[in-house]
Each structure stands twice: as C-alpha cells, then as structure tokens.
Amino acid sequence: MERFRTFDFRKHMPSVTFTLLAVALIAGAGAITVYLGLYNIAADAPHNRLTYSVIETFREKSIAARSGSIAVPADLAAPARIASGAGLYTEMCSGCHLAPGMEKTEMSQGLYPQAPVLFKGSDRSAAEQFWIIKHGIKMTAMPAWGKTHDDRLIWDMVAFVRKLPGLSPAQYQAITQNAPMDHDAMMKGMTEAEGASQKPSEAGEHAGH
C-alpha cells in the first residue's frame, strides 16, 4: 500500500518552487532579449553554435516530416527533364547555388546561412529536394518556387540538380546553352522583341505628322 501514498506536496515544495522560478527567469530573459533587440539579426553576424544547432535540427526534422510521402516520378532521369531543369537552374538558381566553373557571386557571398553549392553534391533525397524547391525555407533567402512554377517544372529542376554534381564546367556550359529558357525569361524576351519591332513603325507615324 505504500506506493499508493498521497503525494506530500510540502516535502517537494522547494524543488517545485525552484523549477517554477527557473522557468520564469528563462522566459523573462527571452522576453528581454526580444523586446530590447539584444539579439543581432544581421546576416553578417552568425548564430552561436547552440542557436545554429537548434535551427538546423528543426529545419531537417521539418523537411523530413513533410517530404516523406512525396512520390518521385519514374522518369526523373529522362534527358528531356534534365534539359528543361538546366535552363531553369541557370536562370533561377545559379546566382546563389553556383555551377561548375563559376566563381562566387556577390549574392552568394552575402547570404546567411550560405546557400549549399549544389554541384559539389548533396545527400538529400529527390523528395526532399522537390519539397525545398517548391516550398522554400524561411529566413534563408530560399524562395518558394511553387508559387510561380508547377510541379512538372519543379521536378525538372530536381532532375538537373541530381545530375549537376557529375558535370564538368565544359559539360555544364554545353547542357545549359542548349536548354530551353525559363518561361518568365522567354516571355520577357518576346515582349522586348515586340517592343523593338514596333518602334520603327511608331517613328514613321510620328514623322508623317
């Protein structure tokens, strides 16, 4: 019957009080840090090791939990997908993630955390890469490309990213030079071309007046 004795609150009062006091102090310190702006949010002031470790763990667990049920297309390694992804990567990704034979850009050097250099390889699964490209990652400058690109194009990007580590600078140049343009860049080029073709006729009309 002894194990069913009533909990003696008075006996444990000191430890309970200490725990509550510790929690209150930690919460108070956190509130002071936030409201007085004591934590330096600048990108050129790296997190301390503990903060970075917590954020990194949180990020990895979050990505794993949300990408686990994503089905990878059977034709992910198809040449057409890789070619499409090459154009998208060059237009949208290379400024931060670089490419074979490419020097660091001003943008890539200013990012914190630093964007992964994808041609050096990655241990992420295709499903994880798809989720990251589609949804982005908060406070990393990684955009959610799913807002402007459909799943087919995002899988094309994944296909090229997985091909990228095996490419030499010459191979990268060859595959990207012949790659289809990103839709936005293509539309911009068409608009500029139309504008240029209209200018001579407009000039002639004004000259006639």
pLDDT top residue among 196 and 206: 196
Q: Are 141 and 165 in contact (CB under 8 A)?
A: no
Q: Are 108 and 132 in contact (CB under 8 A)?
A: no
* The pLDDT of residue 209: 47
Q: Please choose, from the candidates 112, 123, 120, 117, the residue with its C-alpha nearest in 3D space to the C-alpha of residue 96.
A: 117
pTM above 0.85, yes or no: no
Buried-state track 97-114, b at ≥16 Cβ within 10 A, e below 16 = bbbbebeeeeebeeeebe
The token duo for 67 is 């990408």
Q: Are 168 and 94 in contact (CB under 8 A)?
A: no
The token duo for 22 is 């510790």
User: What mean pLDDT comes out for the span 14-41?
Assistant: 84
Q: Which of 35-39, 50-54, 82-86, 132-136 has the lowest mean pLDDT?
A: 35-39
CATH topology of domain 49-189: Cytochrome Bc1 Complex; Chain D, domain 2 (1.10.760)
User: What mean pLDDT comes out for the span 138-146?
Assistant: 96
pLDDT band at 161 (very low <50, low <70, confident <90, very high): very high
The token duo for 76 is 């992910």
What sign does the dihedral 111-117-123-124 (CA atoms) show? positive
* The pLDDT of residue 75: 98
Residue 136, pLDDT > 80, answer yes
**Separation of alpha carbons 89 and 119, rounded Å:** 11
Question: For residue 25, which amino acid is it?
Answer: L
> Any idea where the domains of the chain sit in the sequence?
13-41, 49-189
Q: Are 136 and 144 in contact (CB under 8 A)?
A: yes
